[in-house]
Amino acid sequence: MKITVIGAGNVGATTAQRLAEKEYGDIVLIDIVEGLPQGKGLDLMEAGPIYNYDCKIIGTNSYEETEDSDLVIITSGLPRKPGMSRDDLVKVNTEIVKSVVGQAVQKSPDTILIVVSNPLDVMTYVTYKVSKFPRERVIGMAGILDTSRLRTFVAMELGVSLENIHAFVLGGHGDTMVPLARYTTVAGIPVTELLPKDKLDAIIKRTRDGGAEIVGLLKTGSAFYAPAASIVEMVDTIVKDKKKILPCTVLCKGEYGLNDIFIGVPVKLGKNGAEQIIEIKLNQEETEALKKSAETVRGLCTGICL
């Protein structure tokens, strides 16, 4: 496999590190800042003898080296700063994503695109429009990260293993995300039987605010360890054709009653990308929350000039 990571900042570089350590294939790390991807790429190569990975890692400022990539991961864009919402980033990151996608798909017309740039749902829409790829090959990473945060907070509250927690967070990657308490289980036990409503509500709120909480603590940047781990989980199931069902941002064409909108839903991932949207039964409250989230995303997409 050949995997290109666009953006050599914290998310991109950490993703490249984790991909190298798992030896999925050769890695191209690209950034507009001269020396940055080259330095980080060389540093990662020099860690190979210690961590016992033999993949080739190239740092570059040119898209020539990205040619014929099997996967392209887009992390480029400005990160959030304290006081900024993901939505504040729409205009500036739209221009960045338009540029990098156009150059990437020219060199790798058969690749699968994984979008990480914020605001995630909108940037996935931008990527789809610019690339003109089929919807199966344009996938946004958000639900896995949001779900991981929900699982973490539930495990912390109950004092149990993180491995015991299974959950789904659907909807847009932002304030209108839809954490599904009804589908959250602890070793198969519904979390609603283990935690009172007020505790669950507090966990759901913290999940929605998870990114902002880290931005507020770091002050000069945003989360990168958990986002990188979420990207790698997507890569793992695609490269190994696992058919794993994960919450991802994809284009809905009638699923969940939603049309022509990129939103987080359960997706079966495999070697062909987003191979199937899994429709789970939602109650009226959950359905309305998902539709509200979709309309918020649609509103942000409406004002974009492509």
pLDDT band for position 197 (cuts 50, 70, 90): very high
Full DSSP string of 64-91: GGGTT-SEEEE--SPPP-TT--GGGGHH
pLDDT beyond 80 at 82:
no
pLDDT band for position 87 (cuts 50, 70, 90): low
* Non-local CB neighbours of 136 within 8 Å, separated by 6+ positions: 272, 273, 274, 275
Mean pLDDT for 292-303 is: 92
pTM over 0.75: yes
Mean pLDDT for 90-105 is: 94
pLDDT at res. 62:
97
CA distance 184 to 180: 6
pLDDT at res. 228:
98
pLDDT band for position 84 (cuts 50, 70, 90): low
pLDDT band for position 304 (cuts 50, 70, 90): confident
The span from the first CA to the last CA of the chain, in angstroms, equals 31
pLDDT at res. 42:
98
Is-contact 80 227, C-beta < 8 A? no
Neighbours of 171 (CB within 10 A): 30
Residues labelled as active-site residues: 173
pLDDT beyond 90 at 78:
no
Domains of the chain: 2-140 (3.40.50.720), 143-302 (3.90.110.10)
**What mean pLDDT is reported for the chain?**
95
Which segments of the chain does DSSP mark as H helices, in order? 10-22, 36-51, 90-107, 120-131, 143-158, 197-208, 210-218, 225-239, 284-302
Residues in the annotated binding site for substrate: 80, 86, 118, 149
pLDDT at res. 185:
97
- 124-155 per-position pLDDT tens digit: 999 999 999 999 999 999 999 999 999 999 99
pLDDT at res. 243:
98
